[in-house]
Amino acid sequence: MKKSSHKNVFKDGAISAEFVGNSIAKHQTKTSIGAHNIFLGQVRADQIDNTTVAAIEYTAHEEMANAKFHEIREAAFDKYDLTCMHIYHSLGVVEAGEICLFIFVSSKSRKTVFEAIEYIVERVKKEVPVFGKELFTGVNNDDKTHQWKVNS
């Protein structure tokens, strides 16, 4: 089977603030950029049926997901005048309060990055085959310990 040539967007575990900061710092030499916009998806400690989400365990059909991320990336470059775009998504367990999705776009103008980030985030949430299993805290033997997350 032929190996996909698409960029792997997946990171093991949570995406650290240091990783986000380093990504921003790397763009300081690109002086044609006038604006950046960042979306950080964070795991929420939702209350569900008298339990609390402690973490989400992310899995994906990686090759299919990377192909879909690539398709969304190319469509965004076609639709918007972007200078740079980076997308990273967690795999494995990410605890409540930690970052699981990092999307970073750059352009000459601020209006472009605002429009592009919304377009990209909405497509990622609707189209990419990444699955989240919500892991609960405070459960007793009568309660379920997890459920599959449904994006709203």
Mean pLDDT per segment of 10 residues, for the chain of length 152 residues?
71 98 93 95 91 94 96 98 97 97 97 98 96 80 57 55
- Residue 114 burial (10 A CB sphere; 0-12, 13-18, 19+): middle
Report the predicted TM-score, pTM, of the whole model to 2 decimal places: 0.88
C-alpha–C-alpha distance, residues 15 and 101, integer Å: 7
Homologous superfamily of the 13-148 domain (CATH): Molybdopterin biosynthesis MoaE subunit (3.90.1170.40)
Predicted pLDDT at 148? 60
Beta-bridge mates of residue 12: 91
Domain boundaries along the sequence of the chain: 13-148
Predicted pLDDT of residue 4:
52
**Burial (CB count within 10 angstroms: exposed 0-12, middle 13-18, buried 19+), residue 140:** exposed
pLDDT at 5: 66
Q: What's the gap between Cα 119 and its chain centre?
A: 13
What is the structure's pLDDT at 152? 54
Per-residue confidence (pLDDT) for residue 70, from 0 to 100? 97
